């Protein structure tokens, strides 16, 4: 018995020594590579607006800040909670500097510094061919009026699609960087890049195509196009994913370690799995392979019911898979997903962001982490299924991270 206790103590000491030699970045990379690390990463999903609340700001005003100020908001969250990653969004353009939010007739407008309006005209993401003040269509998604009123793509010819991509979509990595979209990554990478895993997370090409407000086709027309214009839709997807690789390159050059996309509108609860396999799967495979060639670890956040395409997702060159909580009449069990593809892809947890993280107790959160961790084999990262919601108790966020870091 004494020998057994001695071995157990020695093992704990060994783990302590190992952990002291591995920082958050190294632990994260090892886990994404399905290798044994000193412990498992704790990586809350903090892509949403909670970070502004944490820093004491109204996101409707603070979101419209250029990269330097945006980096401060991310750093405030990190320093308060010390997670194992920075979960960064696409960033903001430099012409947001000195901008103001004003109310005109009950509608909000973004007022741009006159000296930066010519630069604004060059942007094809937040703004489209407009140097003027713009109505804010949606605060959480940073949607500006000119972006929502651009024309829809014509899928009847490749020429039309190419012209649309050039005019409304494509920006080179150099253009993206010069507009300031990667400034927050550069600042955070310079300060934390040696010790913390830095991941940039942006909407997928399908999100840009299918978005009901700003989409190149819109949602309903996009789904119909798989039947009515299959060749055109396929070509549009290829061109859009190719164009989006420029964003990955810009973030890689800025010092990011990981690159994630949110994939929505195409899950099997929305479209037949055949659609994913016929139109998207091989595009995803090539896309994520190219992301890897840039030195980034590709992560896919696939919303909706992905159970019918789990095997497909294990074959598209992703390092990590993030999924939603169980909702909308489908069940996403992390233990089951790990069992099916966890030997090929690292699986992020999907703790419920509302009923557990927002409304639960510290004990509830800790139990939830332990439940999802069971039977993990170097293939699990503690996470919540959707972004941390406003009003979430800080002690629950700390509980998620604390419980995740106890896992070995």
pLDDT in tens, 175-197: 999 999 999 999 999 999 999 99
Provide the token pair at 115.
């000296």
Confidence class of residue 3 from pLDDT cuts 50, 70 and 90?
low
pLDDT in tens, 312-325: 999 999 999 999 99
What does the pLDDT read at residue 294? 98
Whether the per-residue pLDDT at 328 is higher than 60: the answer is yes
CA nearest to 202, candidates 283, 259, 142: 259
Q: How large is the average pLDDT for residues 258-276?
A: 96
Domain contains 341: yes
Residue 116 is assigned to a structural domain of this protein: no
Q: Does 367 map to a domain?
A: yes
Structural tokens at position 48: 């949403």
| Structure confidence at residue 61 as a pLDDT band (50, 70, 90) | confident
Cβ proximity of 386 and 16 under 8 Å: no
Residue 5 has pLDDT above 80, yes or no: no
Parallel, antiparallel, or unpaired for β 85-88 and 134-138?
A: unpaired
CA pair distance 107, 138, nearest whole angstrom: 11
* H helix or E strand, kind and range, residue 368: helix 362-373
Report pLDDT for 142.
82
The whole domain housing 193 covers 18-93+152-405
For residue 302, the cross-strand partners are 263, 323
Could you tell me the sign of the dihedral formed by the alpha carbons of 74, 77, 82, 83, in that order? negative
The vertex-286 CA angle with 280 and 292, nearest 5°, equals: 130
Note the pLDDT tens digit of each residue in 297-308.
999 999 999 999
Q: How many CB atoms lie within 10 A of CB 120?
A: 26
Bridge partners of 86?
198
Tokens 């609340």 identify what position?
A: 53
137 found inside a domain: no
CATH of the domain at 379: 3.20.20.210
> Domain for residue 13, yes or no?
no
Residue 20: which pLDDT band, with cuts at 50, 70 and 90?
A: low
Residue 396: other Cβ atoms inside 10 A: 23
pLDDT for 295: 98
pLDDT tens string 352-371: 999 999 999 999 999 999 99
What's the mean pLDDT in 88-92? 96
Average the pLDDT over 393-398 and give the result: 98
| Percent with pLDDT over 90 in the chain | 87
Q: Give the separation between CA 348 and CA 253, rounded to whole angstroms.
A: 26
Q: Virtual CA dihedral for 134, 137, 139, 141, nearest 10 degrees?
A: -110
> At residue 60, does pLDDT exceed 60?
yes
Mean pLDDT of 374-400: 96
Residue 234: is its pLDDT beyond 90? yes
User: How do strand 107-111 and strand 134-138 relate by DSSP bridges?
Assistant: antiparallel
Please state, in angstroms and rounded to a whole number, the distance separating the CA atoms of residues 80 and 87.
Answer: 14
Interval 316-343 mean pLDDT: 95
pLDDT range class, residue 13, cuts 50, 70, 90: very low
- Check residue 129 and give its pLDDT: 87
In a domain, 4, yes or no: no
Looking at residue 21, its pLDDT comes to 85
pLDDT for residue 252 is more than 70:
yes
CB–CB of 378/34 below 8 Å? Answer: yes
pLDDT at residue 6 tops 60: no
* Mean pLDDT across 230-256: 98
Query: Taking Cα atoms as reference points, which of 268, 255, 340 lies closest to residue 295?
Result: 255
Alpha carbons 231 and 291: distance in angstroms, whole number? 25
- Residue 9, domain member (yes or no): no
Taking phi over 0 as left and psi of -120 to 50 as alpha, with beta for the rest, 329 belongs to left
Q: How many degrees, rounded to 5, is the angle at CA 81 between CA 33 and CA 362?
A: 95
How many angstroms separate the CA atoms of 195 and 189, rounded?
A: 9
Distance of CA 361 to the CA centre of its chain: 27
Structurally, how many domains does the chain consist of? 1
What is the tens place of the pLDDT at every residue in 150-180?
899 999 999 999 999 999 999 999 999 999 9
How would residue 148 be classed by pLDDT, with cut points 50, 70 and 90?
confident
Q: How far apart are CA 261 and CA 288, in angstroms?
A: 10
How does DSSP classify residue 126?
S
**Which two three-digit tokens encode residue 308?**
């019918």
Mean pLDDT of 52-71: 92
Give residue 17's pLDDT.
45
Token pair for 273: 């799995």
Give the span between the Cα atoms of 49 and 81, in whole angstroms.
16
CA 293, CA 106: separation in Å to the nearest integer? Answer: 48
């Amino acid at each position: 018995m004494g020998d057994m206790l001695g071995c157990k103590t020695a093992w704990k000491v060994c783990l302590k020594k190992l952990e002291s030699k591995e920082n958050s970045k190294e632990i994260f990379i090892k886990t994404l590579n399905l290798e044994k690390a000193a412990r498992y990463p704790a990586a809350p999903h903090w892509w949403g607006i909670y970070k502004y609340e944490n820093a004491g700001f109204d996101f409707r005003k603070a979101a419209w800040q250029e990269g330097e100020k945006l980096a401060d908001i991310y750093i405030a969250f990190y320093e308060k909670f010390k997670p194992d990653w920075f979960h960064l969004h696409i960033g903001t353009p430099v012409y947001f500097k000195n901008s103001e939010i004003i109310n005109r007739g009950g509608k909000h407008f973004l007022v741009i510094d006159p000296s930066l309006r010519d630069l604004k005209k060059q942007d094809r993401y937040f703004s489209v061919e407009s140097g003027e003040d713009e109505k804010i269509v949606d605060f959480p998604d940073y949607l500006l009026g000119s972006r929502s009123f651009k024309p829809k793509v014509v899928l009847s010819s490749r020429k039309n699609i190419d012209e649309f991509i050039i005019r409304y979509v494509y920006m080179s990595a150099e253009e993206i960087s010069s507009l300031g979209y990667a400034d927050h990554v550069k600042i955070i990478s310079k300060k934390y890049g040696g010790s913390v895993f830095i991941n940039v997370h942006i909407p997928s090409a399908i999100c840009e195509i299918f978005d009901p407000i700003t989409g190149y086709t819109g949602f309903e027309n996009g789904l119909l196009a798989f039947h009515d214009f299959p060749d055109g839709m396929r070509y549009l997807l290829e061109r859009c994913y190719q164009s989006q690789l420029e964003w990955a390159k810009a973030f890689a050059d800025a010092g990011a370690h990981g690159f994630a996309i949110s994939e929505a509108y195409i899950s099997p609860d929305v479209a037949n799995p055949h659609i994913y396999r016929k139109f998207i799967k091989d595009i995803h495979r090539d896309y994520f392979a190219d992301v890897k060639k840039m030195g980034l670890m590709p992560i896919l956040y696939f919303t909706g019911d992905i159970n019918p395409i789990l095997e497909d997702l294990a074959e598209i060159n992703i390092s990590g898979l993030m999924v939603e909580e169980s909702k909308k009449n489908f069940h996403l069990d992390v233990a089951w997903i790990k069992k099916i593809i966890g030997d090929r892809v690292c699986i992020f947890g999907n703790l419920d962001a509302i009923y557990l993280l927002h409304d639960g107790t510290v004990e509830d959160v800790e139990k939830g982490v332990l439940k999802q961790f069971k039977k993990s084999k170097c293939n699990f990262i503690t996470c919540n299924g959707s972004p941390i919601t406003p009003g979430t108790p800080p002690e629950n966020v700390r509980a998620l991270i604390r419980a995740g870091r106890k896992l070995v």
